[in-house]
Structure 1
Amino acid sequence: MTGPVWLNLALIAFVAAAFGSGPALARPTLPFGVRIPARRTGDPAIAFARRRYNRGIAVGAVVASAVVLSGWTTRIDLVIVGLVALYAVLGSLAHRSIIAAKRDGGWYAGTRQAVAADTSLRSDPVRPQWILLTPSVLLAVVTAVVGLAEDAKSFSTVFAQVLVVVLISLLTVAISRARPEIDAAQPSASASRYREYLHGVLSLLLVSAGCANATLLVVSLQLWGVADTTVPVTIVAYLPLLAAFIAWIGFSLRSGDAGHRLSPTAGESETRYEQRDDDRYWFAAGMVYLNRNDPALLVHRRVGTYWTLNLGHPVAWLLLVIVAVAGVLAGLGVFPLPIKGA
């Protein structure tokens, strides 16, 4: 995999920026995926871990750029894989160093730990604005009509559009019913922030479905010979996806992880409690959750604007088995996957 030097350098810069912004967007009480008391957010051990991580991010980007500029390899994919692996190691080292400081310093000693819940999120939940899904449905219908009019031999892109609508709808419902992120130290304020954050996530999901189907419409027109397969048309085809990507980045920067940067509509009521130390249920630096005593199927990850399955829930393993079986059957050719140009 090769490309223009400027494009390769831009890709390296993007990867470095993505990994470098993670700690800055994380909740203050979850540095590098470690649960800490609010009074410890300014601890020197955390500041040191951040500085070391940021230096590693910068050094990795400089070395990767030097490799590209020197022409030592033209395989930018290998350079990016190596860079991602390096950044993952740096994140793991930062995670472990904070874990050690937390354990050795007894940061939770003498604290009153609790878990907070907001019943209003159940009695008056954040409801998805399903009207935002209308463009994606209409685009799928338009694509199918054009395909029929052109007597298309393949409707793989139409099937992909339908799949986008179905999957985004299911994901929207699942996320809207996932366990909310409420901080026991500031229950009312954090509940208010999470409500605003969830509303934004659900709206962006539904809008992103329309962006994806708009791209698939133009791709369909190219495959069926209705539109020219030229660079300008191809660029136009992927502009909706680019717009959705930029919107997600802007939302993440404004809201922060789980909406902690948003201004709450409720008062910043403080309690005498700290959020329960639940590190024992999280693995891979806050990416994997396993708690058999938690009835929640979907929980917000400690890193990024993502949710993950509770692997302690039996339904989670059932879903994983279904996905694995579908992948194996597709690999064996039991049922065909849509192929571009087919």
Structure 2
Amino acid sequence: MTGPLWLNLSLIAFTAATFASAPALARPTLPFGVRVPARRTGEAVILLARRRYNRGIAVGAVVACALVFIDGLAPEMVLVGLVAACSLLGGLASRSIAAAKREEGWYAGTRQAVIADTSLRSDPVRPQWILLAPAALLTVVTAVIGLSKGTTNFSTVLTQILVLVLIPPLTIAISRARPEIDAAQPSASASRYKEYLHGVLSLLLISAGCVNATMLVVSLQQWEFVETTVPTTIVGHLPLVAAFIAWIVFSVRAGDAGHRLSPTGDEPETRYEQRDDDRYWHAAGMVYLNRNDPALLVHRRVGTYWTLNLGHPIAWVVLAAVAVTGVLAGFGVVTLPAKGG
């Protein structure tokens, strides 16, 4: 986080805002990653946990801003400390709600169920692959420019190719991940989830083009087609900024798993509650481990993204491959794209 003071303060403010917005964007029945019945979402312990959490975030942000003015204290350490403090606050809030839920028997007398929507298998949400065309075209254009220059440094092109290789399987995996459907409102929640999934897949493919557009500008700077000036660098990063803003706007509008979206048609609530599956979730809804669940990817309880089911054997194969790649890169056997090419 080394850089001008305004940048350090901006990163602290953004980090605090990100953590502070998480409870507001979370599904009402999943406060701080704890599954609660719909009729218990207004419990005093939940409201108190949110107030304490928000106060803690505010105090942490103020302290972090004060610390960046201390000479000799690395701003990176301040940011890491703020992230750790915010994560700890979230964990404490999750534990307090889970304890109240357990002690007061919030699920006692409820009828729990799990709902499946077979239409998501027979008529799945299909990615709009045409949105990946700009990313592919930008890769070709960058490679042609590099060849015309006669350069031997194609690290940015390799980064573009890596994006093209990784995005399609990730898109397919997300489109086939287990859907988030609420047993209390199965039709409405399925409708919301489909709209949400369509938006996520489209943004993912568009973001690939944004990354490759930035890599094109970086390539032009490296190959001395354009001067490396502040205006050029800003213009080069505008696609990434646009993609980032688009993700933020979508996340605020849709909420986690699309619960803020308007469903198609009205549906009365059923007599069922979503099954209490807290025993499979750890670290305040961030880690999922269920050996009896065949799903490889599941939507996290916090945030607009998915996570691996660590109870699935393939999940450990994926993690092992990432770990091996990291070790090989550390020993110089595999060369990863460097920052700025």
Smaller-chain TM-score bracket: over 0.9
Do the aligned partners of 2:325 and 2:334 also contact (CA within 8 Å) in 1? no
How many residues align? The count is: 341
Do the aligned partners of 2:35 and 2:277 also contact (CA within 8 Å) in 1? yes
Do the aligned partners of 2:115 and 2:181 also contact (CA within 8 Å) in 1? yes
Gaps of 5+ in 2: none
Give the superposed CA RMSD. 1.2
Which residue does the alignment assign to 1:68?
Answer: 68
Q: Which amino acid aligns with 2:62?
A: V
Percentage of pairs with the same residue: 76
Which residue does the alignment assign to 2:33?
Answer: 33
Change (3 A) 1:262 1:138: same
Which residue does the alignment assign to 2:271?
Answer: 272
Q: Which amino acid aligns with 1:155?
A: F
Which residue does the alignment assign to 1:291?
Answer: 290
Deviation at 1:341, TM superposition (A): 7.5
Q: Which amino acid aligns with 1:328?
A: V
Deviates more, 1:289-298 or 1:74-83: 74-83
Which residue does the alignment assign to 1:177?
Answer: 176
* CA shift digits 1:179-231 (9 cap, x unpaired): 00000010000000000000000000000000000000000011111111111
Residues in 1 aligned to 2:293 and 2:286: alpha-carbon distance in whole angstroms:
17
Residues in 2 aligned to 1:241 and 1:248: alpha-carbon distance in whole angstroms:
11
Do the aligned partners of 1:172 and 1:202 also contact (CA within 8 Å) in 2? yes
Gaps of 5+ in 1: none
* CA shift digits 1:154-174 (9 cap, x unpaired): 111111101001111111000
Q: Which amino acid aligns with 2:287?
A: V
Do the aligned partners of 2:56 and 2:89 also contact (CA within 8 Å) in 1? yes
Residues in 1 aligned to 2:82 and 2:5: alpha-carbon distance in whole angstroms:
17
Change (3 A) 1:2 1:320: closer
**Structure 1 stretches (4+) deviating beyond 6 angstroms?**
none
Which residue does the alignment assign to 1:46?
Answer: 46
Residues in 1 aligned to 2:61 and 2:297: alpha-carbon distance in whole angstroms:
34
Structure 2 residue 227 is the aligned partner of structure 1 residue 234: no
Which residue does the alignment assign to 2:96?
Answer: 97
Aligned partner of residue 298 in structure 2, secondary structure: strand
Aligned partner of residue 301 in structure 2, secondary structure: coil
* CA shift digits 1:308-332 (9 cap, x unpaired): 0111111111111111112212222
Which residue does the alignment assign to 1:112?
Answer: 111
Q: Which amino acid aligns with 2:183?
A: A
Aligned partner of residue 117 in structure 1, secondary structure: coil
Deviates more, 1:50-59 or 1:2-11: 2-11
Q: Scaled by the length of structure 1, what TM-score is found?
A: 0.97
* CA shift digits 1:212-251 (9 cap, x unpaired): 0000000001111111111110111111000000000000
* CA shift digits 1:53-90 (9 cap, x unpaired): 00001111111122234x35552111111111110110
Q: Which amino acid aligns with 1:336?
A: T
Q: Which amino acid aligns with 2:103?
A: D
Which residue does the alignment assign to 1:87?
Answer: 86
Structure 2 residue 148 is the aligned partner of structure 1 residue 149: yes
Deviation at 1:5, TM superposition (A): 2.2
Which residue does the alignment assign to 2:311?
Answer: 312
Do the aligned partners of 2:146 and 2:223 also contact (CA within 8 Å) in 1? yes
Change (3 A) 1:295 1:285: same
Residues in 1 aligned to 2:222 and 2:284: alpha-carbon distance in whole angstroms:
43
Residues in 1 aligned to 2:290 and 2:102: alpha-carbon distance in whole angstroms:
21
Deviates more, 1:222-231 or 1:60-69: 60-69
Do the aligned partners of 1:189 and 1:269 also contact (CA within 8 Å) in 2? no
Deviates more, 1:261-270 or 1:102-111: 261-270
Residues in 1 aligned to 2:119 and 2:307: alpha-carbon distance in whole angstroms:
23
Residues in 2 aligned to 1:267 and 1:293: alpha-carbon distance in whole angstroms:
34
Structure 2 residue 3 is the aligned partner of structure 1 residue 3: yes
